[in-house]
């Protein structure tokens, strides 16, 4: 007997009944991000491993422990993308976008891959919706990105989400902070985990991102990065805060937040949800500025800022909200007798061409069982087609929510259904 196959651990199937929530989130993102002038890009799921080593950072947990990396048949080291910013930057460079437009705004959505310990809201194949803006060094661009995330989360109807904000400085002021941080960490070396001993040598900021509770306690008492900002970085951070306030976007300054990637400079931010459904995986959207990333990958010296939202976590929150998602059929066609099956099948096809969502059970069955399936489908109306309806050209639409049957000519079903639809369809675009 052959062994039953199942999905790879940490990589989940998305089935009807749940996929409608995902489609709702993705559709809302496309519509909203388009309002901000962001166009969609799609990058390959596989990239040269060196792209992530050079951008994300060799000492990060992502590169050091979590990437799905393999050697292909041409002896090249390839990796499944663990995040979306580095591939977007590679595409920006490869296609010489800087020569085509001074300011570029992109968004993306798709699967990412990291081999990490799984828990609620954290999977090995996970999905992100993100955006990148290239060409503007101004604080207004940072705030535009955060405004876009804030509006996105608001339109999803999510509550109790806090924006955490920090600045990591730049190559001018960060070395002084690094030196002070290393001095502090060396004094507490015995309290740190072995991974943080290595991080201290390569990139001490990574210690602040360690998930070990003891290391977190040490980091919490360390030097404050905001006290080391140079005047330009200070002015930029102050401008970010002023503009967020002007847009009435509430935020909390969190000087211990560094994010888990090496490419960030100046502004970093996280949108954190306080909902028990997420457990400790409470960050639903995060990002920041990475002015040196494009240049470090061999491209022009172009400033950039971006973010990514965890789609899996947003879906978990929306499930908890008890909102209804997805379109239901406009009409279910039931067959009264075997001789009407072909006519009903033909009618369903015509009405679909005319724009209706029509459910029809190709198996037929008793009229009672078909009516049960109609009720379960959530269809607004049911039409029973039998010999009488076929010969007379007349039928009745039964409103499944209750009410008197509506007489209708078989040639006029689509118009009649639309005219008697009391509520907007579940997939109709929002007026907001």
User: Residue ranges for the binding site for L-histidine?
Assistant: 83-85, 114, 128, 132, 259, 263-264
| Residue 297 CA: distances (Å) to CA of 66, 198, 290 | 21, 25, 12
Helix (H, G, I), strand (E, B) or coil at 238: helix
Burial (CB count <10 Å: 0-12, 13-18, 19+), residue 226: middle
Instruction: Dump the DSSP string for 81-114.
Output: -S-SHHHHHHHHHHTTGGGT-SSEEEEEEEEEE-
Q: Are 242 and 194 in contact (CB under 8 A)?
A: no
DSSP structure class, residue 203? -
Residue 121: which residues within 8 A CB-CB, separation 6 or more? 277, 278, 279, 281, 310, 312, 313, 316
Question: Of 29, 25, 20, 117, which is closest to residue 314 (Cα–Cα)?
Answer: 25
Cβ–Cβ under 8 Å, residues 213 and 194:
no
Query: Phi/psi at 70 (nearest 5 deg)?
Result: -150, 165
DSSP helix/strand/coil, 87: helix
Alpha carbons 109 and 125: distance in angstroms, whole number? 13
Q: CA 141, CA 130: separation in Å to the nearest integer?
A: 15
**181, 322, 338: which is closest to 258 by C-alpha?**
181
Residue 296: both structure tokens together: 């470090």
- Give the bridge partners for 154, in sequence order: none
- Gyration radius of the chain's alpha carbons: 27
- DSSP bridge pairs for 129: 109, 309
Annotated binding site: 83-85, 114, 128, 132, 259, 263-264
H-type alpha helices, 18-57:
19-35, 49-55
**Distance between CA atoms of 299 and 197, rounded to whole angstroms?**
33
Residue spans of beta strands (DSSP E) within 140-185? 161-167
What does the alpha-carbon distance between residue 420 and residue 220 come to, in Å, rounded to a whole number?
Answer: 62
The Cβ of residue 13 has, within 10 Å, a number of other Cβ atoms equal to: 8
Strand, coil or helix: what is 392?
helix
């Amino acid at each position: 007997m052959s062994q039953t196959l199942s999905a790879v651990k940490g990589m989940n199937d998305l089935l009807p009944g749940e996929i409608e929530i995902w489609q709702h989130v993705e559709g809302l993102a496309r519509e909203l991000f388009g309002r901000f002038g962001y166009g969609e890009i799609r990058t390959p799921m596989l990239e040269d491993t060196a792209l992530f080593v050079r951008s994300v950072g060799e000492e990060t947990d992502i590169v050091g422990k979590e990437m799905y990396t393999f050697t292909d048949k041409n002896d090249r080291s390839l990796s499944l993308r663990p995040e979306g910013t580095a591939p977007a930057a590679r595409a920006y460079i490869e296609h010489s976008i800087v020569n085509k437009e001074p300011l570029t705004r992109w968004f993306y959505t798709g699967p990412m891959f990291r081999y990490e310990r799984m828990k609620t809201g954290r999977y090995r194949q996970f999905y992100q919706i993100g955006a990148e803006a290239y060409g503007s060094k101004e604080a207004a661009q940072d705030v535009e990105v955060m405004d876009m995330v804030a509006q996105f989360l608001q339109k999803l109807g999510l509550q109790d989400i806090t924006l955490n904000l920090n600045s990591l400085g730049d190559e001018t002021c960060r070395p002084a902070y690094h030196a002070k941080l290393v001095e502090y960490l060396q004094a507490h070396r015995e309290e740190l985990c072995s991974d943080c001993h290595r991080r201290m040598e390569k990139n001490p900021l990574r210690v602040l991102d360690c998930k070990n509770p003891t290391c977190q306690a040490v980091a919490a008492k360390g030097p404050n990065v905001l006290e080391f900002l140079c005047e330009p970085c200070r002015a930029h951070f102050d401008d970010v805060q002023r503009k967020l306030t002007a847009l009435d976007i509430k935020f909390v300054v969190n000087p211990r937040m560094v994010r888990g990637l090496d490419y960030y400079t100046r502004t970093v931010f996280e949108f954190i949800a306080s909902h028990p459904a997420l457990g400790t995986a409470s960050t639903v959207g995060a990002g920041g500025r990475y002015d040196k990333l494009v240049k470090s990958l061999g491209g022009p010296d172009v400033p950039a800022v971006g973010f990514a939202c965890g789609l899996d976590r947003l879906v978990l929150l929306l499930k908890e909200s008890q909102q209804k998602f997805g379109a239901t059929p406009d009409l279910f066609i039931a067959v009264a007798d075997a001789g009407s099956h072909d006519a009903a099948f033909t009618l369903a096809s015509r009405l679909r061409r005319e724009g209706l969502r029509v459910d029809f059970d190709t198996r037929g069955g008793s009229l009672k069982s078909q009516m049960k399936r109609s009720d379960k489908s959530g269809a607004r109306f049911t039409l029973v087609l039998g010999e009488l309806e076929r010969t007379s050209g007349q039928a009745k639409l039964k409103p499944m929510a209750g009410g008197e049957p509506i007489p209708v000519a078989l040639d006029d079903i689509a118009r009649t259904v639309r005219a008697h639809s009391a509520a907007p369809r579940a997939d109709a675009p929002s007026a907001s």
